[in-house]
Amino acid sequence: MAEKMSKNQKKRRERLFKLAKLLFYILFALLIYSALLYRFVGWFTSTIWYVAIGLGVVAGVLFSVKFVSKDARVGEKIMLYIMIVFLAICLIGSIFAHINHFFDNGEVERYVVEIEDKHSTTSRKNPDTYEFEVTLNGETFDIHVTRSDYRANDVGDHYIIEYHEGALGVPYYIAVGPVP
C-alpha cells in the first residue's frame, strides 16, 4: 500500500530537489564556461556541431513537453521552448567540446607566438575573461588565458600555445603559458 507523505517528508523532498537543481545550475555554468578555453579551428565546417544543435532541439522539445505548464499562455510557452532549446544546445555543445579534448590522444604541436594585443572583460555578473591576440600561420585569433598570465605578460612578449587535432575531429588551440 502506498502511504501518503507527511509534511516533513514533502519539505525534505522539496529541499533536496532545490539543492539538486542548484548543483545542476552550477555544473551547467562551469561546463559552458570551461568550454570557452578551447579556440576551435574550422568549427563551423565540422558536422559535430550540427549534431549538437539537432540534439539540443530534440532535448528542448522533450523538456518543454514535460515541464511547460499547460496553463501557460502561447507566448510564454514559445519563450520557454526557445530558452530550453538554447540552453540544451549550449550544454550539448559544451559536452562535445570537452569530449573532443579529453579523449584526444593525437600528437600535440607546441608553438611560441608573440602577443600582439591584450583584451579583458570584467563584469560583476559574469566571470572575468582574459585574452591574448596572437597570429599563427597567418591567422590572427584570440586565445583565453589565466588572469596571472594576463597580468604577467605584455604586448610583444612570447607565449606558448598548443594545437590539438581533437578526438571528434575538431582541431583547437589551447593556452599553455609564458615562455620560461
**Full set of structural domains in the chain with CATH:** 12-102 (no CATH), 109-178 (2.40.50)
Residue found under cell 520557454:
80
Question: Bigger pLDDT: 13 or 171?
Answer: 171
Please give the grid coordinates belonging to residue 71: 496553463
Please give the grid coordinates belonging to residue 24: 545542476
Q: Any idea what DSSP says for residue 45?
A: G
What integer best gives the mean pLDDT of the chain? 83
Instruction: Report if pTM > 0.85.
Output: no
pLDDT of residue 130 exceeding 80, the answer is yes
Predicted confidence (pLDDT) per residue in 42-64, tens digit: 666 667 777 877 887 888 777 77
Helices (H) and strands (E) in the chain, counts: 4, 7
* 52, 92 contact by CB (below 8 A): yes
Please give the grid coordinates belonging to residue 109: 604541436
Distance CA 101, CA 68 (A): 35
Distance CA 24, CA 39 (A): 26
